[in-house]
Amino acid sequence: MIRIASLATQKVMSILAATQGVPAAIAALVSQEGVALPAITATQIVAQNATPELWEESTAGKYPMIYVYCSKMTNQLKEKFRTFSGDVQMTVEARVSQNQLTEIDANLGVYIDALTQVLNQNRGDWGDGIFYSGGYEVAFGAVRRGGQNFLQAAKVSFSLEVSTD
C-alpha cells in the first residue's frame, strides 16, 4: 500500500514540477495579472506532510512552498483479481508568507489558480494504472503568524483512480 501512495505522490510531483507545470503557470499568471509575486522553482515543490512550524524549525527553505502528499487510500476492489483498484486521495498544499497582511489572500489565490490550471491541463491517464478525472476541492486556511511574519495556506484535494497489481 505504501508503494501505491508513494507512486501517486511522485506522479503528482512530476506533473507539478514539469516544464509546463506550476512554475510556468505562475509566471504566466503573474505577467497576465500584473502582480509582483515570488517565482517558484521545482525545489519549492516537495513531497511532505509537515506543519509550517515543524518545517520552519527543520529547514532553511523559503516561501512560497508547495507540499504534495497522499492523505487517504481506499481499496474498493473495483476490478477483480487486482491487488488494488480504488481511489487515492491526494492533497497539494500551497503556503505563502509575507511581512504584511495586505494582499496575502490574493497572492495565495494566484498560486492556487496556477495549481488548478496545471491539474486541469493534465486530466486523463497518468500511466502506471493512475487516472485523474479532473475534479478537485480547494480549502483556504486563515492567516496566522509564521514564516516572514504572516502565513496563509490553502489545500487542493483530489482523487486519483488507481488500478494495479
Neighbours of 137 (CB within 10 A): 10
Q: Are strands 65-75 and 45-47 parallel, antiparallel or unpaired?
A: parallel
**Looking at residues 41-54, what average pLDDT do you find?**
84
- pLDDT for 147 equals 78
According to DSSP, residue 115 is labeled H
**Looking at residues 126-131, what average pLDDT do you find?**
95
Q: Is the pLDDT of residue 95 over 70?
A: yes
Confidence band of 1 (pLDDT split at 50, 70, 90): confident
**Looking at residues 143-147, what average pLDDT do you find?**
87
- What one-character-per-residue DSSP string does 34-72 give? T-------GGGEEE----HHHHHHH----SSEEEEEEEE
| pLDDT tens by residue, 51-74 | 777 777 777 668 899 999 999 999
- pLDDT for 130 equals 96
Contact present, 41 and 17 (Cβ < 8 Å): no
Confidence band of 154 (pLDDT split at 50, 70, 90): very high
- High-pLDDT (> 70) share of the chain, %: 98
- pLDDT for 102 equals 87
**Looking at residues 134-155, what average pLDDT do you find?**
92
Look up the pTM and report it.
Answer: 0.91
Neighbours of 66 (CB within 10 A): 22
According to DSSP, residue 146 is labeled E
Q: What whole-number distance in Å separates Cα of residue 142 and Cα of residue 150?
A: 10
Confidence band of 135 (pLDDT split at 50, 70, 90): very high
Q: What letter represents residue 60's amino acid?
A: A
Half-sphere exposure of 92 (CA within 13 A, CB side): 30
Q: What whole-number distance in Å separates Cα of residue 56 and Cα of residue 37?
A: 21
Q: What whole-number distance in Å separates Cα of residue 109 and Cα of residue 94?
A: 10
Parent domain of 6: 2-164
Question: Total structural domains in the chain?
Answer: 1
Q: Is the pLDDT of residue 127 over 70?
A: yes
